[in-house]
Amino acid sequence: MADLNELIDKTADLIVHARRTVVFTGAGVSTESGIPDFRSPGGIWSRFDPEDFTYQKFISDRAARRKHWQLLREGFLGAAAQPNPAHYAIAELDRLGKLDCIITQNVDNLHQKAGVPANKVFELHGNMQFAICLDCRRRYPIAELKARIDRGEEMPDCEVCRGILKPDAVFFGEALPEEVLRDATHHAYSCDLFIVIGSTLVVFPAAYVPQYALESGAKLVIINLSPTPMDRQAAVLISAKAGEVMPEVAHRVAEKMGAES
């Protein structure tokens, strides 16, 4: 069985020689920045009722909306979280010209904070650092809305049309953003290397995306602490923390590219 050093080196080789590399990230990347995940013991759903986070309840129940805004004001989902070494390593791959795009299940905006251009980040489940008006679709930074709450507003509404503002993340009972899913699917089918980082690949429809890459003939790398349903299909499987593995992967990619130039 290959040791970790060999697996990291093989991953770096695959990236160097790939034409288009897509990185797919899940909660295992965010948790290393101190953001709690949803499904693990001690996660979000062990402390809150998922029924309070349905799209239908948010729309129909003023008390539910008030609860959401109070949680957001208190820093729910790590609004103050900062990128960790995995985020910065992925951003370094982009700087090296070896990143086609990131497809992420995370809603924390940390890939952008780490330096990846926003147009290269496809957020399947939205972005909790923004809210959107459900009527006119104007987008607001959550920080701006929290400031309005601090000034005395109970629940901020749209300044343009007075419509309901909703955090710009996908709630239960709400479809994934159609355009983002379409673009992510296109990139998955077009890549020749697909790297899963920090995802157990059990949340659908997002978990279909790496399957699309395999269908197109791409090689698959999985870096995740726990097993996934696609482990046997991976060319490289690394059971370790993203923040420990990815900086070394990026470092070796830079070395190998320097050696080849």
Contacts of 79 (CB under 8 A, 6+ apart): 72, 128, 129, 142, 143, 146
User: Do 43 and 147 share a structural domain?
Assistant: yes
Region 219-233: mean pLDDT is 97
- 205 and 114 Cβ atoms separated by less than 8 Å: no
Which residues are CB-contacts of 259 (< 8 A; sequence separation ≥ 6)? none
CB 218 within 8 A of CB 237: no
238 neighbors 11 (Cβ within 8 angstroms) = yes
Please state the rounded mean pLDDT for residues 209-236.
Answer: 97
Tokens describing residue 139? 């987008």
Q: Which residue has the higher pLDDT, 42 or 160?
A: 160
23, 58: one domain: no
Q: What three-state secondary structure class fits 238? A: strand
Range of the domain at 248: 1-34+83-125+178-261
Q: What's the whole-number mean pLDDT along residues 90-100?
A: 98
Question: What's the longest Cα–Cα distance across the chain?
Answer: 61
Length of the chain: 261
Query: Is 251 annotated as catalytic?
Result: no
Residue from 113, 172, 164 nearest 138 by CA: 164
CATH number of domain containing 192: 3.40.50.1220
Confidence of residue 49 (pLDDT cuts 50, 70, 90): low
Query: Does residue 102 share a domain with residue 151?
Result: no
pTM over 0.85: yes
CA-closest candidate to residue 51, choices 43, 36, 41, 61: 61
Determine whether 73 is exposed, middle or buried from the number of CB atoms within 10 Å of its CB (0-12, 13-18, 19+): middle
CATH number of the domain where residue 155 is located: 3.30.1600.10
Summarize pLDDT for 102-156 with one digit per residue, the tens: 999 999 999 999 999 999 999 999 998 899 999 999 999 998 998 898 898 888 9
**Which one of the listed residues 111, 125, 187, 251 is annotated catalytic?**
125
> 141, 169, 197 — which closes off a domain?
169
Give the phi and the psi of residue 44 in degrees, each rounded to 5.
-55, -45
Residue in 226, 72, 40 with CA at minimum distance from that of residue 156? 72
Residue 157 CB-density burial (10 A; 0-12 exposed, 13-18 middle, 19+ buried) = middle
pLDDT at 34: 87
One domain for residues 99 and 143: no
Per cent of the chain over pLDDT 90 is 75
Do 258 and 189 share a domain, yes or no?
yes
